[in-house]
Amino acid sequence: MKRYSAFSIAREALRNHAGWTRAWAAPEPRRRYDVVIVGAGGHGLATAYYLGKNFGITNVAILEKGWLGGGNTGRNTTIIRSNYLQDASAAIYEKARSLYETLSQELNYNVMFSPRGVIMLAQTESEVRGYKRTAHANALQGVETEFISPEQVKELVPIINISGPRYPVLGGLWQARAGTARHDAVAWGYARACSAMGMEIIQQCEVTGIRQKDGKVAGVDTTKGPIDCDKLGLVVAGHSGVLAEMAGFRLPLESVALQALVSEPIKPCMDVVVMANTVHGYMSQSDKGEMVIGGGADGFNNYTQRGSFHHIEETVRALVETFPIISRLKMLRQWGGIVDMTGDRSAILSKTPLEGCFINCGWGTGGFKAIPGSGWGMAELMAKGHSPLTESFSLDRFREGRFVDESVAAGVAH
């Protein structure tokens, strides 16, 4: 692998960049690997990467139906934070956030992790109580957060309206070390590092069946032929149900379209990420200058990657109210992705009823921020059979009622 640096760019500039080689190889699949990962999104690639890095398992193929990073890794609003309430969530998201901090250097690929800070606004009394509780929980979990005053919010975000007539800002949960990253680069960086370790990323290769022998996984059938493996990791987000069915089990997942949009680019006017849950909207400004805005999820299940326009209206209304200056910006593009939601809105990282077959899915609306932690835990689970990071996210929890529920506000005060 050719190392990336300012010097290598300068050297290449002298020969018109003719010497750059492929970021990742494009081999034809072999007949057998120790481990096959299905899904070359962020989570699948990170799983493979940490299998190699932490456990020395490099005889790995990562199979991708389309193009790598083309699912939710390339469709999200790039927010990275770990200010979760439940211990299990805080552990895996904080692991991810801390890995993000050094990921560019580790992968020798600039994923542009930008620890610019995330504020979650409190706009009702119950939100104030909820975030104070989270701040207490975070302190014990080793996650640095702080409940800040409306004035502090205003200082961090000069364009915010904290005294809106409808929902004045009452404070906010501030995580200074949270931020954003360049989503595509995360997938590309992991892909390049996996390829450099000798792993094989096979794009345009759809899994059509899962083969078993003596109750154990034996391999997969693909559009590029059968591939044998000892261990199989299914990391395919919205299509997990389809693969689980091939493996002979069912998943408690629903798939819905979640939308996002960006404005035209403008010069910097907002340095931090702001999430406003009462009015339903969140916004940050990308390095390119676009205001990146997250919207709502459709109330019905589908696979269209489009979504209903009224959600865009609701989101934009909320954000125009919160940031009045954006009224005269323009929406450049809206898009949708399919998020796989579990009953408790937390992920599944688990062994499955099929021995040797592991699954990582159910990240819902929060997957991007988890990628390194998810890969770390999943690799440990696949290599060793257990991982403290993934233990709470096993499939058993639905049978046992042992949920990891982050949707804290079930009701509001009388």
- Interacting residues with other proteins between 195 and 234 (CB under 8 A): 203
Q: Where are the alpha helices (DSSP H) in 367-412?
A: 371-384, 396-400
Cα 52 to Cα 409: distance, rounded to the nearest angstrom: 40
Given 263, 292, 362, 363, the residue binding other proteins (CB under 8 A): 263
State the DSSP code for 145.
-
Question: Which x/- pattern over 232-251 shows residues binding other proteins (rule: CB under 8 A)?
Answer: --------------------
Whole-angstrom CA distances from 341 to 167, 282, 348, 363 are 29, 20, 10, 7
Given 150, 226, 241, 265, the residue binding other proteins (CB under 8 A): 265
Cβ at position 178, least distance to other proteins in Å: 12
148 in Cβ contact with 218 (< 8 Å): no
Q: Which is nearer to other proteins, 4 or 230 (CB)?
A: 4
Cα 364 to Cα 336: distance, rounded to the nearest angstrom: 13
Site size for other proteins (CB under 8 A): 125
233 in Cβ contact with 35 (< 8 Å): yes
Cα 178 to Cα 241: distance, rounded to the nearest angstrom: 32
Task: Give the three-state DSSP class for 258.
Answer: strand
Given 18, 163, 214, 385, the residue binding other proteins (CB under 8 A): 18
Pairing of strands 291-301, 348-351: unpaired
Q: Which of residues 117-176 bind other proteins (CB under 8 A)?
A: 123-126, 128-130, 132-137, 139-142, 146-147, 159, 164-167
Cβ at position 13, least distance to other proteins in Å: 4
Q: Which is nearer to other proteins, 215 or 411 (CB)?
A: 411
Q: Which is nearer to other proteins, 229 or 393 (CB)?
A: 393
Where does this chain touch other proteins (CB under 8 A) — which range of 6-14, 205-213, 221-229, 357-365? 6-14
Q: Which is nearer to other proteins, 2 or 211 (CB)?
A: 2
Cβ at position 344, least distance to other proteins in Å: 8
Contact call for residue 369 and other proteins (CB under 8 A): no
Contact call for residue 384 and other proteins (CB under 8 A): no
Contact call for residue 27 and other proteins (CB under 8 A): no
Given 316, 354, 357, 371, the residue binding other proteins (CB under 8 A): 316
Q: Which of residues 52-91 bind other proteins (CB under 8 A)?
A: 66-67, 69-70, 74, 87-88, 90-91
Instruction: Kindly write down the DSSP assignment for every residue of 22-60, as one continuous string.
Output: -SS--PPP-SEEEEEEE--SHHHHHHHHHHHHHH----E
Query: What count of residues does the chain have?
Result: 414
Where does this chain touch other proteins (CB under 8 A) — which range of 21-29, 36-44, 49-57, 213-221? 21-29
Task: Give the three-state DSSP class for 356.
Answer: coil
- In one-letter notation, the amino acid at residue 174 is W
Given 176, 197, 218, 269, the residue binding other proteins (CB under 8 A): 269
Instruction: Kindly write down the DSSP assignment for every residue of 59-125, as one continuous string.
Output: -EEEE-SSSTT-SGGGTS--EE----SSHHHHHHHHHHHHHHHTHHHHHTS----B---EEEEE-SH
